[in-house]
Structure formats: structure tokens, C-alpha cells
């Protein structure tokens, strides 16, 4: 048998059928877009919902510091508004709660080498991102991920983004219980769910095992779930504090408590109801006011709660709400080795001791530890990723997690193995101490790759890391555990609001020149799941930020009271006093005196904001019905291809499916509980749209609906190519009629 010539052929036996089909569909959509058969906004949202994101310069223009230059990409279709087809983009790989197996990491290492720049980037939401990926490589990239159990579906766009969770879950001393199985179940329950397809913006979910630690960061999520055990009639019952409407960005909002205790049985139905309310009432026009936080604020938490509970009562029961509860151990990790304490004669000094102090945490399970691998700026090379997967296999039994501060955890390390593990990490250039300390600076991509980036958050973070490492022991002890976080713009992906010392990229126009600056934000609270946001102090030229950090940390260590956190310290001394500390650093030298201020960190070009583009964080608002109609058009196209390949029966089935998809998309406008059983779709479609003459042609009357009814009643009895051809023709007419009906419905109607 000849060797497979495509990844599709080679991996077919390893990919879940539904995931394989989804990727095939995306590949078809790519083809259709190239033929201009899908409208660009619709395609943009389609690709975003598959994790295929735009990148800086993808409008084909780049500023060289003196002037804007055209990047002469081949002239082809666009990937979305102002987004050229051949411009490289970012691939976001959703890693639910950051859990990665060694095999998955190996595959991502290969993908980074083959399709990207040999770097895997861990994000602040436990995703992995590959940059500079060509869209035409993305279907194979997705297949290779799917073959190891990863889907990129809904990694971007107006969808439920990666469900994050405390990366210590299951090993932690302070957790109420392990949130992993709940995060896992909710991830796959919401993935592709009908009630999550009509959002005006993204929707982020986070789990935390406890209230006091920072790991889950539930306070700034659309939905934050904090594990809680309640005694009910003498029995311990598991549930969650249910927080909604938190968010960072330009208008940060702390989450509000929707319910003090939601039982595990109610977690999914309540969330489904919440999604439905957000989809129905959330803002769709004004993208900057479309996150859930604005809806909660507008309605007030009491009214919002009432609407969600009312919606909850309308839901059609779904066995998936509770099925997973019968096997909560499905996500349980099994260590490779028995737990063993660190040998008394083990090396305890030098680099190992420093690393152990900051990068190792004892597990709840005796004899085991969690080791943090510090990743500078969240980056690891493909070679390093393979080294990490080797270590996971050797020491821990495959239990890696990405963290929200852009590092990786190796869980279930026998404490006795820590010295050997550290030596191996050092050999791979991954044994750096300082995880979670001042030098472990978090940063979003900023102007490196993000279209919205204003200042170079990664450049700044890299420089701060470098300088703090040089200072080493000279950094005051009291300041060593502070957190620094940098965002390249107000969208706050670097989570600067919740850092002790945060920086937000801004620009200033001075003497006719643009100058990169960072707004200083101090006193955010990382603990208590990001319990409070910091205060803006003033904008500082980028090149003065290291001096700002030096002054703030020194002042804190010299003037703080015993046990005083940085937040309390800032509250005590006051914003004015903090500003006074840096007042002279806000001053900017003239260009003639020091032109270096007019370039950003890590970028020698004279600074400009002209490279900013239209962001894709918001995606494009494409209603569920319109997505459904687009899917039906794609299915008719596929039916035609099948017929061309001589597969008449399959072609007819696909054409029938196309009509069914269109009918379902329209009918769901009238019945949000509509399932996907064909009999139910037909019956509901007939009752709500045909009998009411909404699906009705002025001249042909109900003729087009009869195409679907006839095919359905016949049990798809088509034997030959001629018959299949006829069904395809009918399906095309049906879909045209569906579009007319959708227009008649006003584009969208309320549920």
C-alpha cells in the first residue's frame, strides 16, 4: 500500500469523526473564500472560531520608522476586512485548564517548527499560540492537533474562549475540591453549543479551587466559579460560588455574585441559561460595550439574576448536565512514581536551593511536589518543548499544565527527584529560578505581533527581566515577591490591572513625534483570585520604566510596615506620593538630546502607531441563523463535489443535510430549545415557519419547503446521479428561499 500523501489520509484513523468533519468543513470554507463564495466578514468570524487569528501587518502595510511601506503580498482573496490572504497570522491553540500531555506537547513542538517560527508561546489564559502561520497550513495543523485530542474550535471570535482553571487543581492544599473534572465537562458542554453561537463578544470562564489564592483569577472573568463545599442535612455537597460579569480591558469590572452556591448538578444548566441571556440581550452593535460585564451593569445584578433563573426554567433537560458526575475520576492524574521525600543528603545549596525556594511547591499528596518551569515571556523553543515532554514522561507521568503567568508546571514530581529534575531543566536552559517573583514578568504580545498593540510590552518585559537578573541579589528582599505585568494596550491581555506594578502601553505626541509610553498602574491584587484592580498613576516614557521599577521597589522595601502588602502600602502612602516618586521620570528629553526615547524596547525603528490595525478580539457579529445558512451553502457545494466524484448517494444525503441545516438555523430563531433530531426539525420548521407562511414564496407558495419534506419522507431514497443532481438543485432553491425567509424575519428575532 502506498504511503499516505496527505496529513488527512495519514491521521484519519486517529481523529474523532466529528472533529475530522469540522476540519474538512473549514478546509472547504477556505476554498470557498478563495473563490469569493463566502462573504469576507462571515469568513473572518468562521476562521476566528477555529482559532485562526490576524497578526500585525496583515493589511499589507508596515512602517519602517520613516514611512509606511507596502508589503507586496500576492493579490488574492482576503481573510477578512483589511486582512490579506497571504499575510501570516496567529494560531491559538485552546488548552482547556492548561492541561497538556507529553504527546500533545511533542506535536505542538513539531507544528511550531513546521508552520511557525519554532516557538511555542504560553498565554495568560493557558492557551498556546503559534505565530506567523499561513492560513493554508491551518487545516493540517488542526488535524495534527486533533489526532492528539486538541481542538482549536472557538479559540477566538465571539465564543466561549478557553476555560481556564487553577493550574494546581488536584494537588493543592487550599482547594475545596479538584475543579478539573468540572472545567473539563463545562469546556466540552459549551463547545459548539447552540446557545453559545449568538454572542456579541467573547465569553471567558475560569475555575478556582479556593477563594484566597490567585491561581484561578475568577474575579475578572465573564463567569468565575469558585469551588465550595456546603453542608446540607449533614452531607457535604459540592458546588460553586457563581460570579459573573468580571472583566479587564479599558473598563475593568470586578465580577458580581450571581449565586452563593450553585450545586454541581446545576452548574451546566445555569451556565447554559446565562449564555442564552447573554446571546439574546448582549450588545451586538457597539463592540466596545458588548462584553457581559456591560450587560450585567446595565441590568443590575438582581435583574440579570432574575432573567438567568427565568431562562433556566425554560431549558429543555439535557443528560450532559449531569452525566459526567458519575465519573469525576476521569480526569484524575496518576503519578509515574511513588512519592518520596527529598533525601537529607541531597544538594541543598546554590542554584538548586534558589530554584526550589521559588519554583517548587509541595503537593497535598505526601512526597510529591509541583515544579514550575520558568518560561521567559511565556516562550519555549520546539527543542525545549521536547525536553519538557521528556521530563514529564520520566518523572511525572504526563502531567503538565500551562499557567496564567505564562509558565509550565510539572506536577507529581517525587520530591526525591527534584535535584535530578532541576539538573535536567538547567541542561535545557529551563532551570531558571524566580517563578512568580519580580523578575518573572508577564506580558501580552503587544506590538511584536498584535494588531492592537500600542507599545512593546514584550520588549519592556524582556528588558525588565534582563535588568532584574543583572541586579539579582541586589533586588530588595521585600520586593522580590511582587508581580509585574505589562499590556501593550488598554485591552489588558497582560492583566496589568491585577499586578502590584502594572504597565499599560500608550503613546504620547511630543513635539510632533510619537513617543512610546507606559501608563503605570499600582496596587492591583493578585491574590483572592485577582481581588482588586490597581490605580493609574501616570504615563512614563517606555525607556524610563526600568528606573520606575527600581524606585518603586526600593521605596517599598525601605518604607513598608511589617507584613504590609504592596496594595496596602500604596493605599497608605497615597497615589500622589507614588506619583511624586517618579515625577521626574515622566519628563521626556527632546529628540535632539536623546533620540533613543523615540524608539520602543526591542525595536530600533523610530516609534509610530501607524502599524496598528483593526483588532480581531471582537470578531465579527454573525448571528447563529446566518452561520447556519452559510453552513448549508457549504454543504450544497460539498454535495456537488461528491456528485462529481461519482458518489451519488452521499451527494444526495449532503444536499438533504444542507436543507436541514438551513431549516434548523431559521427555526431556531423561533424556538431556542430546538434540538438536532431531523424529525423534530421538520416538525418545528413546518409548524413555526411554513404553516405560518413565513417560509413562503410570493409566487411558488410552499413549493420549496416541499423539497425538504419530500426528501425527508422518502428516507433519502436516491439511487442514481440524476436523482442526486435533482436533490442538489432543489437544495439550492431551498436555501435561496431560506435567505428570503431570514430577511423577512428581520435578520434576527428574539428568542
Which residues of this protein are in contact with other proteins, per CB under 8 A?
Answer: 2-7, 10, 56-57, 62, 64-66, 69, 71-73, 86-88, 106, 110, 113-115, 117-119, 131-132, 134, 140, 376-377, 379-381, 383-384, 386, 428-430, 448-449, 459, 462, 465-466, 602-605
Euclidean distance between CA atoms 203 and 622, whole angstroms: 15
In the complex with other proteins, the residue whose CB is nearer, 376 or 516, is 376
Least gap, CB of 487 to other proteins (angstroms): 18
Least gap, CB of 430 to other proteins (angstroms): 7
Burial of 34 (0-12, 13-18, 19+ CB in 10 A): middle
Euclidean distance between CA atoms 134 and 141, whole angstroms: 10
In the complex with other proteins, the residue whose CB is nearer, 41 or 134, is 134
In the complex with other proteins, the residue whose CB is nearer, 252 or 436, is 436
Rounded to the nearest 10°, the torsion over CA 660, 665, 667, 668 is 130
- The residues that bridge with 130 in the sheet, in sequence order, are 91
Least gap, CB of 502 to other proteins (angstroms): 20
Residues 272, 195 contacting (CB under 8 angstroms): yes
Residues 484, 460 contacting (CB under 8 angstroms): no
Least gap, CB of 110 to other proteins (angstroms): 6
Least gap, CB of 469 to other proteins (angstroms): 10
Least gap, CB of 494 to other proteins (angstroms): 16
Q: 269 to each of 186, 240, 273, 315, 379, how far by Cα in Å?
A: 10, 13, 6, 8, 38
Q: Which residues contact 566 (CB under 8 A, 6 or more apart)?
A: 482, 500, 501, 522, 523, 556, 560
Least gap, CB of 421 to other proteins (angstroms): 17
Least gap, CB of 4 to other proteins (angstroms): 7
Least gap, CB of 61 to other proteins (angstroms): 11
Least gap, CB of 491 to other proteins (angstroms): 21
In the complex with other proteins, the residue whose CB is nearer, 331 or 382, is 382
Residue bearing cell 516609534: 607
In the complex with other proteins, the residue whose CB is nearer, 374 or 667, is 374
The conformational region for residue 48 under phi > 0 = left, psi -120 to 50 = alpha, else beta, is alpha
Least gap, CB of 111 to other proteins (angstroms): 10
Helix%, strand%, coil% for the chain, nearest 5 = 45, 20, 35
In the complex with other proteins, the residue whose CB is nearer, 2 or 512, is 2
In the complex with other proteins, the residue whose CB is nearer, 243 or 352, is 352
The conformational region for residue 340 under phi > 0 = left, psi -120 to 50 = alpha, else beta, is beta
- Label each residue of 139-171 as H, E or C: HHHHHHHHCCCCCCCCCCCCCECCCEECCCCCC
- The alpha helices in 226-372, defined as continuous H runs, are 264-281, 292-299, 301-314, 350-359
Q: Quick one: which H or E segment has residue 732?
A: helix 721-744
In the complex with other proteins, the residue whose CB is nearer, 5 or 743, is 5
Q: Which residues contact 703 (CB under 8 A, 6 or more apart)?
A: 697
Residues 617, 453 contacting (CB under 8 angstroms): no
Least gap, CB of 132 to other proteins (angstroms): 5
Longest dimension (CA), the chain: 91
In the complex with other proteins, the residue whose CB is nearer, 34 or 740, is 34
Cell of 141: 495543523
Euclidean distance between CA atoms 519 and 280, whole angstroms: 36
Least gap, CB of 159 to other proteins (angstroms): 28
Euclidean distance between CA atoms 371 and 360, whole angstroms: 5
Least gap, CB of 457 to other proteins (angstroms): 13
- The residues that bridge with 532 in the sheet, in sequence order, are 525
Euclidean distance between CA atoms 71 and 77, whole angstroms: 16
SS3 429: coil
Strands (E), 194-291: 205-208, 223-232, 235-244, 256-263
Residue bearing cell 476586512: 81
Euclidean distance between CA atoms 449 and 89, whole angstroms: 9
In the complex with other proteins, the residue whose CB is nearer, 384 or 399, is 384
In the complex with other proteins, the residue whose CB is nearer, 7 or 188, is 7
Least gap, CB of 437 to other proteins (angstroms): 16
**What is the radius of gyration, based on Cα positions, of the chain?**
27
In the complex with other proteins, the residue whose CB is nearer, 417 or 432, is 432
β-strands 164-165, 205-208 pairing: parallel
Euclidean distance between CA atoms 542 and 603, whole angstroms: 12
The number of beta carbons lying within 10 Å of the beta carbon of residue 454 is 25
What's the half-sphere exposure (Cβ side, CA atoms, 13 Å) at 450?
27
Least gap, CB of 565 to other proteins (angstroms): 29
Least gap, CB of 719 to other proteins (angstroms): 38
Residues 184, 599 contacting (CB under 8 angstroms): no
Least gap, CB of 3 to other proteins (angstroms): 3
Q: 509 to each of 230, 513, 541, 585, how far by Cα in Å?
A: 56, 5, 11, 17
In the complex with other proteins, the residue whose CB is nearer, 107 or 292, is 107
Q: Quick one: which H or E segment has residue 21?
A: helix 17-34
Helices (H) and strands (E) in the chain, counts: 22, 26
In the complex with other proteins, the residue whose CB is nearer, 415 or 611, is 611
Residue 291 DSSP code: S
In the complex with other proteins, the residue whose CB is nearer, 136 or 558, is 136
In the complex with other proteins, the residue whose CB is nearer, 241 or 448, is 448
In the complex with other proteins, the residue whose CB is nearer, 384 or 403, is 384
Amino acid at each position: 500500500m502506498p504511503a499516505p500523501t496527505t496529513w488527512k489520509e495519514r491521521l484519519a484513523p486517529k481523529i474523532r469523526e466529528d472533529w475530522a468533519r469540522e476540519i474538512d468543513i473549514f478546509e472547504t470554507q477556505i476554498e470557498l473564500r478563495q473563490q469569493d463564495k463566502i462573504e469576507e466578514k462571515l469568513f473572518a468570524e468562521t476562521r476566528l472560531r477555529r482559532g485562526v487569528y490576524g497578526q500585525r501587518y496583515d493589511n499589507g502595510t508596515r512602517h519602517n520608522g520613516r514611512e509606511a511601506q507596502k508589503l507586496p503580498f500576492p493579490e488574492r482573496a482576503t481573510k477578512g476586512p483589511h486582512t490579506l490572504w497571504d499575510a501570516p497570522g496567529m494560531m491559538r491553540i485552546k488548552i482547556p485548564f492548561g492541561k497538556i500531555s507529553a504527546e500533545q506537547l511533542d506535536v505542538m513542538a513539531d507544528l511550531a517548527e513546521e508552520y511557525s517560527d519554532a516557538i511555542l508561546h504560553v498565554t495568560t489564559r493557558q492557551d498556546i499560540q503559534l505565530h506567523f502561520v499561513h492560513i493554508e497550513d491551518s487545516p493540517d495543523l488542526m488535524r495534527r492537533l486533533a489526532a492528539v485530542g486538541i481542538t482549536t474550535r472557538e479559540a477566538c471570535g465571539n465564543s466561549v474562549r478557553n476555560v481556564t482553571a487553577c493550574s494546581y487543581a488536584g494537588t493543592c492544599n487550599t482547594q475545596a475540591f479538584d475543579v478539573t473534572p468540572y472545567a473539563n465537562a463545562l469546556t466540552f458542554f459549551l463547545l459548539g453549543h447552540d446557545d453559545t453561537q449568538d454572542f456579541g463578544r467573547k465569553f471567558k470562564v475560569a475555575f478556582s479551587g479556593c477563594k484566597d489564592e490567585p491561581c484561578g483569577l475568577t474575579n475578572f472573568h465573564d463567569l468565575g466559579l469558585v469551588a465550595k463545599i456546603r453542608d446540607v442535612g449533614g452531607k457535604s455537597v459540592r458546588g460553586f460560588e457563581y460570579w459573573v460579569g468580571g472583566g479587564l480591558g479599558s473598563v475593568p469590572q470586578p465580577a458580581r455574585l450571581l449565586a452563593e452556591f450553585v450545586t454541581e448538578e446545576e452548574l451546566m444548566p445555569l451556565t447554559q441559561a446565562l449564555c442564552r441571556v447573554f446571546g439574546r440581550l448582549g450588545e451586538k452593535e457597539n463592540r466596545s460595550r458588548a462584553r457581559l460585564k456591560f450587560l450585567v451593569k446595565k441590568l443590575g445584578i438582581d435583574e440579570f439574576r432574575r432573567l438567568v433563573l427565568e431562562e433556566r426554567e425554560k431549558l429543555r433537560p439535557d443528560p450532559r448536565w449531569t452525566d459526567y458526575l458519575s465519573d469525576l475520576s476521569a480526569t484524575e492524574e496518576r503519578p509515574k512514581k511513588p512519592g518520596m521525600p527529598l533525601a537529607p543528603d541531597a544538594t541543598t545549596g546554590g542554584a538548586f536551593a534558589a530554584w526550589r525556594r521559588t519554583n517548587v511547591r509541595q503537593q497535598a499528596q505526601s512526597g510529591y511536589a509541583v515544579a514550575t518551569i520558568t518560561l521567559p515571556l511565556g516562550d519555549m523553543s520546539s527543542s525545549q518543548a521536547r525536553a519538557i515532554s521528556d521530563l514529564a514522561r520520566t518523572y511525572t507521568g504526563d502531567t503538565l499544565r500551562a499557567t496564567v503567568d505564562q509558565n509550565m508546571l510539572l506536577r507529581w514530581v517525587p520530591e526525591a527527584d527534584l535535584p535530578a529534575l532541576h539538573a535536567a531543566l538547567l541542561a535545557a536552559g529551563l532551570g531558571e529560578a524566580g517563578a512568580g517573583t519580580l523578575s518573572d514578568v508577564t506580558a501580552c504580545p503587544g506590538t511584536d505581533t498584535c494588531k492592537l498593540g500600542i507599545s512593546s510590552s514584550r520588549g519592556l518585559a524582556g528588558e525588565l527581566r534582563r535588568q532584574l537578573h543583572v541586579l539579582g541579589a541586589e533586588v530588595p528582599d521585600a520586593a522580590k515577591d511582587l508581580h509585574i505585568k505589562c499590556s501593550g494596550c488598554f485591552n489588558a491581555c497582560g492583566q496589568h490591572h491585577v499586578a502590584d506594578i502594572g504597565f499599560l502601553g500608550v503613546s504620547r505626541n511630543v513635539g510632533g513625534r510619537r513617543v512610546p509610553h507606559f501608563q503605570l498602574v499600582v496596587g492591583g491584587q493578585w491574590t483572592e483570585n485577582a481581588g482588586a484592580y490597581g490605580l493609574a498613576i501616570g504615563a512614563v516614557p517606555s525607556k524610563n520604566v526600568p528606573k520606575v521599577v527600581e524606585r518603586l521597589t526600593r521605596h517599598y522595601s525601605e518604607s513598608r510596615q511589617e507584613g504590609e502588602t504592596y496594595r496596602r502600602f500604596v493605599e497608605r502612602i497615597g497615589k500622589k506620593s507614588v506619583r511624586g516618586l517618579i515625577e521626574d521620570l515622566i519628563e521626556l528629553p527632546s529628540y535632539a538630546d536623546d533620540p533613543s526615547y523615540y524608539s520602543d524596547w526591542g525595536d530600533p525603528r523610530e516609534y509610530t502607531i501607524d502599524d496598528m490595525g483593526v483588532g480581531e478580539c471582537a470578531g465579527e457579529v454573525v448571528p447563529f441563523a446566518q452561520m447556519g445558512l452559510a453552513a448549508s451553502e457549504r454543504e450544497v457545494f460539498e454535495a456537488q463535489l461528491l456528485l462529481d466524484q461519482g458518489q451519488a448517494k452521499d451527494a444526495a444525503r449532503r444536499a438533504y443535510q444542507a436543507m436541514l441545516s438551513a431549516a434548523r438555523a431559521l427555526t431556531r430563531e423561533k424556538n431556542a430549545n430546538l434540538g438536532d433530531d431531523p424529525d423534530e426539525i421538520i416538525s418545528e420548521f413546518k409548524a413555526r415557519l411554513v404553516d405560518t407562511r413565513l417560509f413562503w414564496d410570493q409566487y411558488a407558495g410552499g413549493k420549496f419547503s416541499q423539497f425538504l419534506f419530500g426528501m425527508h419522507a422518502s428516507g433519502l431514497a436516491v439511487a442514481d446521479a440524476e436523482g442526486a443532481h435533482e436533490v442538489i438543485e432543489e437544495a439550492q432553491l431551498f436555501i435561496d428561499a431560506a435567505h428570503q425567509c431570514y430577511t423577512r424575519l428581520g435578520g434576527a428575532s428574539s428568542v
